[in-house]
Structure 1
Amino acid sequence: MMVGMALGMLVARITIGHPLAIWFSFLSLTMFHMYANYRAVRCLALNSLNPERSSILLHHFTETGQVLSPKQVSSLEHVLPIQLTPWHSKKANSLDTKVRLGTRISSFDEMEIKEHLLSVASYYTKAKYLLVEKKGIVNVIVHKDSNGADILKSFIHALVLANNAYKSKSLHSDSQTWMENQYEVFIQKVKSLGWKTERLLSSPIIWRANWIHQSATEKND
């Protein structure tokens, strides 16, 4: 701290009265400061699950059957906003950009509700969320009683669905099978490497919905 202040005072004294030197010093030091911050952020290895880290972990797990450590994921995670990331880098792990968490039911019109919502509801009778794929985007409708673990599960399920969007004709059936057979295995492996799996670190979910599942026997009575 003291060294930096001393150098700053020295530079200020040397460049006084020289506008070009002042601007050169300012721009040079600003660029160095930004680079130092970038390198510092790159050194962080956070063990909380956000959308991008979840996407990276799931992508690697589906490819290899293994999960990455927080340090390994840190080297793959974007530091800059996704809009400023090169196209080839975006393409590598961009499943999280295809998931919309906390979608409002009112954002669907009557035809879409019949065509999308009602047709897939049977796949989520035991879940506290609904997944609706629309124009390449997986919309997650969250139940009002869902907790942190439910939201994390819904997001992972949505990533699986997004990953299979162009590979399978029976999206919901195949993704449900994956969740039943692989989700707990995935979560346990993630936990074993120190990841926190209690919740998904995401923006607050403002819109939630309420629905009641009715079994076939109840309908016939």
Structure 2
Amino acid sequence: MSQRGSAWTSEDSAVVCTERYGSGSIQKYMQHEDGTISCERPHTQQHYRSIRDCFVSLFLPHGFPHSVSDDYLEYQLWDTLQAFSSSVTGSLATHSLLRGSGVGDSSATVTAATITWILRDGTGMVGRILFAWMKGSRLDCDAKRWRLFADVLNDVAIFMEILAPIFPSCFTLTVCAAGVFKCIVGVAGGATRAALTVHQARRDNMADVCAKDGSQETLVNLAGLLISLLVIPLVSDSPWVTYLLFVCLTSLHIYANYRAVRSIVMETLNQSRLSIVLEYFLREGRILSPAEANCREPLLPGLGWQVPVSVGVPLSTVVSSVSHMKLLKKGNDSLYLLGWRKDTGRLAVVLHERARSVDIIRSVVHAEVLHQRSGSTDPVRFSILAETHGLVSHMFPDFHNGLCASGWTTDRNVLDSDDWRANWDTSKEH
């Protein structure tokens, strides 16, 4: 076995092999005069390392840090802080709900409290189904934005539950509304957590990353429960102290969530990140790295700019006649048809059945370029469309190569493409 040149000292001359477990300390295998081999482990800080290794084994994925993304640890630290804050404020909300339901009030009935709880759970279930139907496909595309939205909405729901006992006549309505919000939080938070787990798991270890995330959350919630046992008796008779504590913990919760989401560096392209990268490329001639683009990605709804384009729509959404289709194909040798929706006038993309992820990325890039140049009348719009086909055909190969070289993933994307696919003659129309 070859040695590492000058890296070995004279006293290491009997070393025949070194090894380590994950990112742990290196241990040496020494050859003795009688030909036997023994393992020499580091003697320093053995007790500390054994405790550290036990902690890592319990709460971090197997093979950490090499088995997860580079942003994993920073995200988990901020996520732990926000989970602790949410756990304590959740206990405050539970205290208020029990008091509003009549616990401690001799005139309250068990039946009334049970009905309130049933209505709360029932409306929440309906809200969960409707939200998943309306926004389910968008959660993958804007996982970071929806993750932050879910946590802010959770704070709103907790605040409503804390205030509910103050307005007895509206208690049931307030509790039901808060229940709907919390169920929406469950859908958005759970779905985006799954999307982030896909990003963080780098060795096909999604189950392990998810399980260890659950262990971390359980430990944090346990700590939150212990703190709540101390805090609740102190604030139970003072609503204003409860409100002040809620404001402080919620501020910490929102800040920690923002820092957690901001620390994530996604290598897949959604429309916001693609718009940011394309705009910088057209202006500076350079592709932003995933870290650079993620730092610029807006996290709050309504912020940022992106072209309103529908990808993967039915052909009938865009094309109304054979001549219309020929106009869309003029100068076009790609596996998509870019045009305008007949109902709204927004840009839309019809995908060929052989279209792959790179073709979808190219179609959105084309939509961005076309949107910047588009005219107001049909003849002008179709003329500009034909011109942009050549522009994009010339520009996109360099853009795509730059994406790959900068670390972006192009064999998959989160551009919210629908599943409609068409089949047409892809030869270029002149």
Q: Displacement of 1:81 after TM fit?
A: 2.1
Of 143-152 and 168-177, more deviation after overlay is shown by 168-177
Which residue of structure 2 aligns with residue 158 of structure 1? 367
Q: Displacement of 1:215 after TM fit?
A: 7.6
Q: Secondary structure at the match of 2:331?
A: helix
Q: Displacement of 1:80 after TM fit?
A: 1.8
Quick check: 1:101 aligned with 2:311?
Answer: yes
Distance 2:390 2:275 in 1: 19
CA deviation profile, 1:31-56 (whole Å, cap 9, x unmatched):
32122101111111111111111111
Distance 1:186 1:109 in 2: 29
AA aligned opposite 1:154? S
| Aligned residue among 198, 212, 220 for 2:411 | 198
CA deviation profile, 1:78-119 (whole Å, cap 9, x unmatched):
11223xx3xxxx3xx323xx2221222223473xx4564331
Quick check: 1:26 aligned with 2:233?
Answer: no
CA deviation profile, 1:1-48 (whole Å, cap 9, x unmatched):
365444333322321222222233224312321221011111111111
Q: Normalising by structure 2, what TM-score?
A: 0.43
CA contact (8 A) 1:136 1:162 kept: no
Distance 2:230 2:428 in 1: 78
CA contact (8 A) 2:314 2:420 kept: yes
Which residue of structure 1 aligns with residue 33 of structure 2? none
Which residue of structure 2 aligns with residue 173 of structure 1? 386
Q: Displacement of 1:209 after TM fit?
A: 1.9
Q: Secondary structure at the match of 1:208?
A: coil
CA contact (8 A) 1:102 1:142 kept: yes
Distance 1:123 1:178 in 2: 11
Indicate how the Cα distance of structure 1 residues 177 and 107 shifts in structure 2: closer, same or farther if over 3 A, else same: closer
Q: Normalising by structure 1, what TM-score?
A: 0.79
| Aligned residue among 395, 405, 430 for 1:182 | 395
Which residue of structure 1 aligns with residue 278 of structure 2? 58
Q: Secondary structure at the match of 2:338?
A: strand
**Structure showing greater relative contact order (alpha-carbon pairs closer than 8 Å, 6 or more residues apart):** 1
Which residue of structure 2 aligns with residue 147 of structure 1? 356
Q: Displacement of 1:200 after TM fit?
A: 2.3
Which residue of structure 2 aligns with residue 219 of structure 1? none
CA contact (8 A) 2:277 2:293 kept: yes
| Aligned residue among 308, 333, 336 for 1:129 | 336
Contiguous gaps of at least 5 residues in structure 2: 1-219
CA deviation profile, 1:174-211 (whole Å, cap 9, x unmatched):
32222222111111111111111113213352222222
Identity of counterpart residues, as a percentage?
29
Distance 2:233 2:315 in 1: 63
Q: Displacement of 1:160 after TM fit?
A: 1.8
AA aligned opposite 1:105? L
Q: Secondary structure at the match of 2:310?
A: strand
Q: Secondary structure at the match of 1:123?
A: coil
Please say which structure displays the higher CA radius of gyration. 2
What is the total number of aligned residue pairs between the two structures?
A: 203
Contiguous gaps of at least 5 residues in structure 1: 217-221
